[in-house]
Amino acid sequence: MRDVVVFINSISVLLFLYAAWTDFRTWKIPNTIVLALVTLYALRAMVVIFSSEDVGAALFASSGIGGDVGAGLLMFMLGVVLWAFRLFGAGDAKLFLPIGLFIGWHGMLPFSFLLLVLGVVTLLVLRLPVPLRVAHLAFFMRIGEIRASRKIPYGVLMVFAALLTLALPIIQ
């Protein structure tokens, strides 16, 4: 059963990276990616429940599925509020749900800290000039477009903060 969870997590990481890339390229995060991530979390939750000896603890502990769902819904509501005030795009607000599901209740503080740090670093990097030797490359041309439009693809920052949060237990 552990292999199934690892496989689902691997697919989820790839989908999160695809969401970040899509947001970077187009400022949009497709609904299909968000739905696929939520579906993968539901599959993972079912595997955890069916392989658990104590179903109540797997469901209702703060580090269990209940805590994950609570974190996902709280982050989704935060995303909707930010979207209502036009601080976030709709895709960024939607992406908060699967991020919350995967990082869980105990990952919210590290995620918030990492998101803050990545946001500040991004704002500082966007102020730096692009070296002329690499200015013609597509990636740096896109950075120039982002700088000119003053629209930040927050989905990229959110995904990298989430992946770093998920990697923290592995690093330690």
Read off the pLDDT of residues 138-148 as tens digits, 9 standing for 90 and up. Answer: 888 888 888 88
Q: How far apart are alpha carbons 125 and 52 in whole angstroms? A: 46
Q: How far apart are alpha carbons 91 and 75 in whole angstroms? A: 13
In this prediction, residue 2 has a pLDDT band, given cuts at 50, 70 and 90, of confident
Please, what is the average pLDDT of the chain? 90
Contact between residue 129 and residue 86 where contact means Cβ atoms under 8 Å apart? no
Q: How far apart are alpha carbons 88 and 34 in whole angstroms? A: 16
Percentage of residues in the chain with pLDDT exceeding 70? 94
In this prediction, residue 99 has a pLDDT band, given cuts at 50, 70 and 90, of very high
Read off the pLDDT of residues 35-83 as tens digits, 9 standing for 90 and up. Answer: 999 999 999 999 988 887 766 666 666 567 888 999 999 999 999 999 9
pLDDT for res 53 = 75
pLDDT for res 102 = 96
Q: Show the CA angle centred on residue 43, arms to residues 37 and 44, nearest 5°.
A: 90
